[in-house]
Amino acid sequence: MSEKENKQRFYLTTPIYYVNDVPHIGHAYTTIACDALARWHRMRGDDTRFLTGTDEHGQKIQSAAEKRGMTPIQLCDEVVTNYKKLWEVLDISNDDFIRTTEERHIHVTRYFFQKLMESGDIYMGTYEGWYCTPCETYFPDAQVGDDKICPDCKRPLTRMSEESYFFRLSKYQDALIEHYEAHPDAIMPRSRYNEVMSFIRSGLQDLSVSRTTLKWGIPVPGNDRHTVYVWLDALINYISAVGYPEKGEKWETCWPNVRHMVGKDIIRFHSVIWPAVLMAMGLNPPVRVFAHGWWTVEGDKMSKSKGNVVNPFEMADIYGVDAFRYFVLREVPFGNDGDFSELALVNRVNSDLANDMGNLLNRTLQMIEKYRDGKLPPSSVFDRSSDIDSALRNLAVSTLADMDARMDDFSLDGALKALWTLIGAGNKYIDETQPWKLGKDDPDERLDIVLLTLWEVLRFVAMLVHPFIPNTAARIHAQLGLAGNPSEERYPDWNWGKLTGEVMVKKGEVLFPRIDIPKWKIGYDARMKARQVALDPAADKEASAAFDAEHKPQIEIDDFSKLEIRVAKIESVESVEKAKKLYKLNLDLGFERRVIVSSIREFFTPEDLIGKKILVLCNLKPAKFRGIESNGMLLAAEADDGTGEIISLATVDDSFPPGAPVH
Ligand code: MSP
């Protein structure tokens, strides 16, 4: 196939994330999956655009801001940085990031609304119905049972009546059915297609698209008492980010090729409301809406109150970005629900990354170094390849096509499985050809052929794995002795054996050191315990006793120098409400004021503490106790004097100024 006939245009979007909270694994998952798809398409040479962003209007944001004593935009500006930072950490290659509070979005939303009012597809009416505030959705009587709880989130509904603009969704029922009958791939997976079709067939009602009760939203053109319904506002981001209604080149290339990736909970907004609005505007509906499943954690629903929310920053920090990316993409058939467990992640790292992929690279490079001083044999040796060599080459080439077909169906796990079949075949080839027996001075070049075949397989592996784990792919590429980055490769040019000139391999650090499970388990248990303590500080004592019972392994001076310990003066002490053991200590650190929450209340009165110069570990990551952010930890000795636990704070002479460093 020539590059030209195969070249596509590919515009891919993630949902835009609410900024009322910090990002978790669910947000990371969608974005990582989109990133892998976008990178894959760039590698194919496709004209690719990848958009993500944040959903910043609506009741949720207004309420979250009120709770924190901020204006909504202050909250948005703060939380949006968490998302941007996370995408940087996770190597997300988005081309654009849209915020719905940006002018480029606001004016398009108002334009949509204006046009739809002019065409009569938006009209004024009165809404009376059951409203779910957290979901920001009205439910018709028919969908609400006697218990009056939200059919989606199961929280109580409120009866509301308000003047509202409506979108004539009912008018588009037949057009939607016709469209989806003609385009069965427009909603994937198939089970979601069936679900949406039966929802549409059950009858669509007009949709309330404005609110008078909400201030934090985009004002309706010509009627400031109303703000645009946050879901309509949010959906329009996909189009405002590519320059509509000016319709320049970005618009022309993107819009006819748009694919939306969403979680299963928001499929209807994307496959019923959104295409109907687009039809009403005379625009094409999305080429595809793909709904992925949801993650549970260790078999349990993820929730803040359970304290089991998976923090993607933490996972990337502990296991590395690529291990985390690989795990979420490989573990679960894309589209299904999945269960997150760190042990499952560790097992995947050990078996797939350390063992299968890492070993193939290590064994190959070791042999090239040992038998050929690191220098690659010339590609002319391929002329004398035998069947076993050609079979592996054919597999490498067909893996590319196989993965391509799976990526077309958004089967990311399937694509990875196909790639690991190639990796497995590479390892088996080593076992079968037994290069170490071919020896150093092999006259008929068998050894050259085997080494070069393996090296070529690894070159393909680096390129094929790059969309999923870009950083690792770049490391493999470099160890193979190649210049540039796999992200710059375009696959019509990959030709097997294309290499001319001299290449020297550069064996480097092991890609994924094996994780020792018993050791890992100790750290894991300590983290789980700390999490419990954060939820319930009473567990703190138990945790620290268990911790002290063990001696710790030796450390380097560098480990110690990571700790920033300073003198702090206790300025005032407050008891923390509903927490018998906690004090909030207000400290003077010389260069700034600090708050530390500490479970020492049962040992000291405030008078014992005020004015003391204590030692504080001040570069500890912040943690929250009963809603109060604690920034650091005070140092104290702890013992049992026979009557119970006693504590003595580490203090210094009064002559020391606050902020003095401790070495
Ligand atoms: N703001 C809307 C989307 C508007 S798009 C025009 C929204 N935001 S969200 O931040 O609440 O959720 C974003 C995505 O995260 C959704 O696709 C949702 O499915 C996904 N997830 C939230 N929790 C999840 C899991 N536990 N597992 C997987 N994905 C989950 O909805």
Cβ(604) – ligand 1 distance below 6 Å: no
Q: Whose alpha carbon is nearest atom 22 of ligand 1?
A: 26
We find that the CATH architecture of domain 342-493 is Orthogonal Bundle (1.10)
423 lines ligand 1 (CB under 6 A): no
Q: Which atom of ligand 1 lies closest to the CA of 274?
A: 6
> Tens of pLDDT along 519-556?
999 999 999 988 888 877 665 555 455 444 455 667 77
Domains 9-293 and 536-662 share a fold: no
Find, among 453, 658, 478, the residue nearest to 568 by Cα: 658
Could you tell me if residue 38 is left (phi over 0), alpha (psi between -120 and 50 degrees) or otherwise beta?
alpha
Ligand 1 pocket: which of 262, 300, 301, 303 to mutate (most atoms <8 Å of CB)?
262
Instruction: Choose one of 13, 14, 16, 17 to mutate for the ligand 1 pocket test, by most ligand atoms within 8 angstroms of C-beta.
Output: 17
**DSSP E strand stretches across 179-273:** 187-188, 207-208, 210-211, 219-220, 223-228, 258-263
Does any ligand 1 atom lie closer than 6 A to the CB of residue 261?
no
Residue 25 alpha carbon to ligand 1 centre in Å: 10
Three-state DSSP state, 122: strand
- Give, rounded to a whole angstrom, the gap between the first and last alpha carbons of the chain: 66
Kindly give the number of the ligand 1 atom that is closest to the alpha carbon of 18. 10
Which residue ranges make up each domain of the chain?
Answer: 9-293, 342-493, 536-662
What pLDDT is stored for residue 185 in this prediction? 96
CATH 3.20.20.70 fits 9-293, yes or no: no
Q: Residue 175: its pLDDT value, please?
A: 98
Q: Which atom of ligand 1 is nearest to 270's Cα?
A: 6
**27 within ligand 1 shell (Cβ under 6 A):** yes
Q: What is the mean pLDDT of each run of 10 residues along the chain (663 residues)?
A: 62 96 94 98 95 95 92 96 97 98 98 98 91 81 88 89 94 98 97 98 95 93 96 98 93 96 97 98 98 95 89 97 98 97 97 97 96 91 93 96 96 98 98 87 81 96 97 97 90 77 90 96 92 73 50 75 90 87 90 88 88 91 85 83 74 86 88
Q: What is the pTM of this model?
A: 0.80
Q: Which atom of ligand 1 is nearest to the CA of 265?
A: 19
Which string of DSSP letters, residue by residue, matches 301-333? ---TTTT----HHHHHHHH-HHHHHHHHHHHS-
Highest CATH level, class, for 536-662? mainly beta
DSSP run (H or E) holding 593: strand 593-598
The predicted-structure confidence for 216-228, as pLDDT tens digits, reads as follows 999 999 999 999 9
